[in-house]
Structure 1
Amino acid sequence: MAESTGRDPDTDGESSQHGGIQSVDRALTILGILSRDGQAGVSEIAEEMGIHKSTASRLLGSLVAREMVHQNSERGKYRLGFGILRLANSIPGRLSLVREARPVLEALADEFKETVNLAVLRSNFAVNLDQAMGPSTLATYDWVGSLTPLHATSSGKVLLAGLSADECARILDETGLPARTPHTITDRAALETQLLDVARQGYGIVRQEFEIGITSISVPVCNHVGAVIGAISISGPAFRFDPEQEPGLLEGLKEAGLKVSARMGYARR
């Protein structure tokens, strides 16, 4: 008869699995501490996590071996390593702005009953990549793929405000400020002052500047390094749509911009 080990294979499997999950959780906690503090010693990490110093040292050793963590010297403090950077840099290319934004656009359109668009900067224009229509939307025009002027649209102003001063000046030099309606801002100094306000307040608004009868408001979408990569707008008929007076709209739109930004890797400050 085979000698009994006195152990239950199923129980052993569960114990091993639990230990593995705990190790992963602890390793991620260490990465979080280093991300927050910049650097930390093994004793500091062990104390904060409430684990033995030898356990913290073993976990750090595994992270160092995989270049997730770097030790400043043989007995120095630890900081995040280049392995983290390699992983982070592989994410943006795999993310689709349209895919990540789509459910947010639909939720906005459903809540505020107006047209919602997602736009990006391409060749000195704002290009609409996606659109969601609210249930009571009056307009039926499909703006997807349309090129719209940066200086006369809320999305365009958000995209311009996110550029460096030199890049913004280059675009305005090349495109000029042609009037689309009697309300279009065609004075360069006035537009530049408005763009400073857009950057400061976190949203841009146009009232019949691009099209008579249409008011629009936009917020930025940012990527993992905080650069503006897109704009989400809500548009509606000027006779009834006043976004700054609509209860909850500005807050909801800003939250939507932050939600899509987070999906693109942006960390809220």
Structure 2
Amino acid sequence: MARNDLDAQKNANGQAGGVQSVDRALQILEILSRDGHAGVSDIAEEMGVHKSTVFRLLESLAGSEMVQQNSGRGKYQLGFGILRLAASIPARLSLVREARPILEDLAHQSKETVNLAVLRSGYAVNVDQALGPSSLATHDWVGGLTPLHATSSGKVFLAALPADERRKILDEVGLSARTPRTITSREALEKQLLDVAHNGYAESREELEIGLNALAVPVYNHVAAVVGSVSISGPAFRFDTDKVPELITSLREAGLRISEKMGYTQR
């Protein structure tokens, strides 16, 4: 074999080995992320490789502070280097950009209007909207300020707030009646917010507009804080969650998918 062919083969083998090492290092990080900590033997057994290979990779990861060893138990866990990398992600993530394809999928699936909202100055502000094929809505909700107590998205935000912060906002904005069905009692609202926190979703039944129902779920970020809300709304004559319970399942799945794109991981 010519020398050039030998060099090419060596380079190819080296590149293949390098890729394999990267794959294995990532697998180790996944194991530590899942289990919290693990020893060399446990990791080697799960990966199906020799302990010396795992030890070598762990030492390399420890050198860049991606992992660290617990001196008391001799096991490894994720290190502060991971935090440095993770800290740079949220600033680069755009909630609207990450959520857009999921909103469109949900609108097509539900055949209704889907909105993405954030909390701003005591109001729920819709920052994006997708229309389903059967949607009768012509109103553009994007940019509009909607009251927290009368909307499904607003109730999601209120349920996630500490009690003192929630009290402050409600004291400032009040509980005005938008329709005869709007909740204007603080006690009744607090009771409903307990259900929202327990069930993981909020409802609004003709509380903002007569003839308009809505469902909403939270969107979480990498530290499990609520940073947004995704909702489905439609005319009350056909949008009844008691009759179409699968809407809640679809909405929850969409909220989780957006949350995962924002760095959220379920524990």
Report the TM-score when normalising by structure 2. Answer: 0.94
Distance 1:88 1:14 in 2: 32
Residue 159 of structure 1 and its aligned partner are, at CA, apart by: 1.0
> Counterpart of 2:182?
184
Gap runs ≥5 in structure 1? none
Taking a change above 3 Å as real, the CA distance of residues 74 and 215 of structure 1, as seen in their structure-2 partners, is closer
Match of 1:97 among 95, 98, 101: 95
Match of 1:234 among 232, 235, 251: 232
Residue 250 of structure 1 and its aligned partner are, at CA, apart by: 1.3
Distance 1:121 1:33 in 2: 36
Distance 2:105 2:42 in 1: 44
Distance 2:223 2:22 in 1: 26
Distance 1:68 1:99 in 2: 29
Distance 1:60 1:192 in 2: 50
> Counterpart of 1:16?
14
Taking a change above 3 Å as real, the CA distance of residues 148 and 74 of structure 1, as seen in their structure-2 partners, is closer
Residue 103 of structure 1 and its aligned partner are, at CA, apart by: 0.7
Distance 1:75 1:257 in 2: 39
List, as ranges, runs of 4+ consecutive aligned residues in structure 1 with deviation greater than 6 Å. Answer: none
Taking a change above 3 Å as real, the CA distance of residues 181 and 22 of structure 1, as seen in their structure-2 partners, is same
Distance 2:82 2:171 in 1: 40
Q: Deviations over 1:52-109 (max 9, x none)?
A: 2222221111101111011233993222110001111111111100001111111111
Residue 5 of structure 1 and its aligned partner are, at CA, apart by: 5.4
Amino-acid identity (%): 67
> Counterpart of 1:32?
30
Code of the residue aligned with 1:118 in structure 2: it is: L
Residue 129 of structure 1 and its aligned partner are, at CA, apart by: 0.2
Code of the residue aligned with 1:262 in structure 2: it is: E
Gap runs ≥5 in structure 2? none
Distance 1:12 1:65 in 2: 27
Alignment size in residue pairs: 267
Distance 1:32 1:77 in 2: 15
Residue 144 of structure 1 and its aligned partner are, at CA, apart by: 0.5
> Counterpart of 1:171?
169
Code of the residue aligned with 1:234 in structure 2: it is: I
> Counterpart of 1:152?
150
- Structure 2 counterpart SS, 1:8: helix
Q: How does 1:94-173 map to 2 (within 5 A)?
A: 94-173=92-171
Distance 2:86 2:206 in 1: 41
Match of 1:218 among 200, 216, 219: 216
Is residue 244–residue 250 contact of structure 1 (8 Å, CA) maintained in 2? Answer: no
Residue 32 of structure 1 and its aligned partner are, at CA, apart by: 1.8
Residue 134 of structure 1 and its aligned partner are, at CA, apart by: 1.5
Is residue 114–residue 235 contact of structure 1 (8 Å, CA) maintained in 2? Answer: yes
Please say if 1:209 is aligned against 2:246. no
Please say if 1:257 is aligned against 2:252. no
Code of the residue aligned with 1:160 in structure 2: it is: L
Residue 214 of structure 1 and its aligned partner are, at CA, apart by: 0.7
Residue 217 of structure 1 and its aligned partner are, at CA, apart by: 0.8
Residue 225 of structure 1 and its aligned partner are, at CA, apart by: 1.3
Distance 1:151 1:264 in 2: 26
Residue 139 of structure 1 and its aligned partner are, at CA, apart by: 1.7
Match of 1:66 among 64, 67, 72: 64
Report the TM-score when normalising by structure 1. Answer: 0.93
Please say if 1:248 is aligned against 2:246. yes
